[in-house]
Amino acid sequence: MDYFLTEEQTALRDLVRKIADEKVRPLAAKLDREGIFSWDLVKIFAESGLYGVVVPEAYGGTGQGVLELAIVSEELAKACAGVTLAVAASALGMFPIIISGNEEQKNRYLPELAEGKHLAAFCLTEPEAGSDAGSLRTRAKRDGDHYILNGTKVFITNGGVAHIYTVIALTDPEKGTRGASAFIVQDDYPGFKLGKEEDKMGIRASATREIIFDDCRVPVENRIGREGEGFKVAMKTLDKSRPGVASQALGIAQGALDLAVDYARTRVQFGQPIASLQGIQFMLADMATQIEAARALVYAAARMIDSDARNIGQVSAMCKLMASDVAMKVTTDAVQIFGGYGYMRDYPIEKFMRDAKITQIYEGTNQIQRMVIARSLIRDAASKK
């Protein structure tokens, strides 16, 4: 389908597709098997300008937006969903600064992040605060011109490889979500510690780690927005970043479909390629149709977000929900088309199914996305009365 991309967007897509084909795909199986985060690929992504896509030109980026980030994520994820996160999770970590940072913070942090000189990460989730993000316990106590942070964040993508962490912590625990604040924390601040490294089912080429704040001293000027605004900063961040997960899911689904079509054309059973069997054809047709429907929703949502439309939370949640469910379904069917070979690690397809699963879970489970969508519908209906 034609999504009427501009010349600039088409050029970006072609560039990332080339990088994915030539540099990422040949490494994907090894990075997955050994759970390696590739700094060599980060260097290539940085040289190609991929880290600057969501950063305004005034701060060293290319001033593009969520649609361009979606294009990058989709193309990289066709080759390896884990590697995609070296770019997408850095964008997630940058969003709180881009959305709510002051001039000084933007000038100080964004140019080097846009250049890919450093990576960023976003720290919201805690052992007791997953779907219920508002029940966080990490504390930020004011001490003169610093805050002292104490607490543990878990499942942090880019944890341990990022230099800049945007962190949500409680400045006023009595006030719940209204008592949370957002901070920019550097990994060289005293009291910043790395915890457990996770051994994951999929996206194994990404770095996922616990981050521990042990009397971590953060300068007051690193607070993003006012005290008490942190939860809203986090929610606005997720509204912008969820299409990135959706497009990662799209890339996973498209990558799996491409492999399944190739396999079906060459695998001979009953004296003919299985692609000539109607049972297989119907599966391929459904897979392709679901992907195209999800892509249309992702691109529409991304365009809406880039135009500063109202109520982007709803469309952002919708595209993440739909694309990730499609990725799970399509990759499961792709493994089915490969049959017994699909279940074996010698073939590339099972990785797509393992990688797809996380897209239904992170940046808000799909149950949370449904909650966000339903609440928004109900709120809109109430406001019309």
Assess 133 for contact with ligand COS (CB under 6 A).
yes
Assess 126 for contact with ligand COS (CB under 6 A).
no
Assess 235 for contact with ligand COS (CB under 6 A).
yes
Assess 372 for contact with ligand COS (CB under 6 A).
yes
For residues 42 and 119, what is the distance between their CA atoms, to the nearest angstrom?
9
Q: Who contacts 111 (Cβ-Cβ below 8 Å, separation ≥6)?
A: 59, 60
Which one of 26-34, 56-64, 345-353, 362-370 is the stretch in contact with ligand COS (CB under 6 A)?
Answer: 362-370
Q: Of 156 and 294, which CB lies nearer to ligand COS in the complex structure? A: 156
Binder among 65, 96, 244, 313 for ligand COS (CB under 6 A): 313
Measured CA distances, 113 to 65, 182, 241, 346 (Å):
15, 18, 16, 37
Indicate the SS3 state at residue 63.
Answer: coil
Assess 239 for contact with ligand COS (CB under 6 A).
yes
Assess 141 for contact with ligand COS (CB under 6 A).
no
Indicate the SS3 state at residue 149.
Answer: strand
Query: In three state form, how does the secondary structure of 273-328 look?
Result: EHHHCHHHHHHHHHHHHHHHHHHHHHHHHHHHHHCCCCCHHHHHHHHHHHHHHHHH
Closest C-alpha to 249, from 347, 167, 141, 321: 321
Per-residue binding letters, 154-193, with ligand COS (x by CB under 6 A): -----------------------xx---------------
Measured CA distances, 25 to 77, 83, 237, 347, 353 (Å):
10, 10, 30, 13, 16
For residues 94 and 69, what is the distance between their CA atoms, to the nearest angstrom?
13
Assess 124 for contact with ligand COS (CB under 6 A).
yes
Q: Of 239 and 350, which CB lies nearer to ligand COS in the complex structure? A: 239
For residues 66 and 113, what is the distance between their CA atoms, to the nearest angstrom?
17
CB atoms within 10 A of CB 338: 22
To the nearest whole angstrom, how small is the minimum distance from the Cβ of residue 210 to ligand COS?
Answer: 14
Q: Of 217 and 236, which CB lies nearer to ligand COS in the complex structure? A: 236
Whether 363 is catalytic: yes
Which one of 30-38, 65-73, 123-131, 188-196 is the stretch in contact with ligand COS (CB under 6 A)?
Answer: 123-131
Assess 83 for contact with ligand COS (CB under 6 A).
no
To the nearest whole angstrom, how small is the minimum distance from the Cβ of residue 79 to ligand COS?
Answer: 23
Q: Of 155 and 263, which CB lies nearer to ligand COS in the complex structure? A: 155
CA atoms within 13 A on the CB side of 237: 30
Binder among 131, 272, 276, 367 for ligand COS (CB under 6 A): 131
Which residue sits closest to ligand COS, CB atoms considered? Answer: 364
Helix residue ranges, H only, the chain: 7-19, 25-34, 39-47, 66-79, 81-100, 103-115, 230-266, 278-306, 312-338, 349-359, 366-384
To the nearest whole angstrom, how small is the minimum distance from the Cβ of residue 84 to ligand COS?
Answer: 14
Assess 305 for contact with ligand COS (CB under 6 A).
no
Per-residue binding letters, 24-63, with ligand COS (x by CB under 6 A): ----------------------------------------
Site residue total, ligand COS (CB under 6 A): 22
Assess 367 for contact with ligand COS (CB under 6 A).
no
Closest C-alpha to 204, from 340, 34, 27: 34
Catalytically active residues, by annotation: 363
By CB under 6 A, name the binding residues for ligand COS: 122, 124-125, 131-134, 177-178, 231-232, 235-236, 238-239, 313, 362-364, 368, 371-372
